Amino acid sequence: MKNAFHRKWTGYWILALHLIVPMFCAAAQFVDLTVQMEINQWSYWLLQDQRSQSGRESIFDKTATVHCVIGTNTWLMEGDFYRNSFTKIWFTGTNIIEETVITQEPSGAELKQPQVSKFGLASPPVGQKTTQTYYTADGNPGRPIREPDLMHLRGNICWLALCSGPALQREGRQLFPPSALWKQLVSAPAGFTDKTTVFKDGLGLPRSIELFTPEQRRIFQYQVRQTTNINGWEIPLEFYGVQYQPAETNSWELHLTYKGRVTAINVGSELQPAEQNKERIER
pLDDT digits (tens, 9 = 90+) for 82-94: 878 899 999 999 9
- Is residue 7 in some structural domain? no
In whole angstroms, what is the distance from residue 140 CA to residue 172 CA?
Answer: 13
3-class DSSP assignment, residue 154: helix
- Is residue 137 in some structural domain? yes
- Is residue 164 in some structural domain? yes
- Is residue 26 in some structural domain? no
Mean pLDDT within 3-9: 49
Q: How many domains does the chain have?
A: 1
**pLDDT confidence of residue 3:** 53
| Sign of the four-CA dihedral 283, 170, 74, 239 | negative
Mean pLDDT within 197-215: 96
In whole angstroms, what is the distance from residue 18 CA to residue 40 CA?
Answer: 51
- Is residue 29 in some structural domain? no
Residue 231, domain extent: 34-267
In whole angstroms, what is the distance from residue 157 CA to residue 145 CA?
Answer: 18
Report yes or no: 38 and 236 within 8 Å, Cβ to Cβ.
Answer: no
| Per-state percent for the chain, helix, strand, coil, to nearest 5 | 20, 35, 40
Report yes or no: 96 and 280 within 8 Å, Cβ to Cβ.
Answer: no
For residue 23, pLDDT beyond 90:
no
**pLDDT confidence of residue 61:** 61
Q: Which residue has the higher pLDDT, 28 or 77?
A: 77
- Is residue 97 in some structural domain? yes
- Is residue 276 in some structural domain? no
In whole angstroms, what is the distance from residue 96 CA to residue 129 CA?
Answer: 16
93-135 tens-digit pLDDT: 999 999 999 988 876 545 444 444 554 546 678 889 999 999 9
- Is residue 25 in some structural domain? no
Is pTM beyond 0.85? Reply is no
Report yes or no: 231 and 29 within 8 Å, Cβ to Cβ.
Answer: yes
Contacts of 101 by beta carbon, 8 Å cutoff, 6+ apart? 85, 86, 87, 127, 128, 129
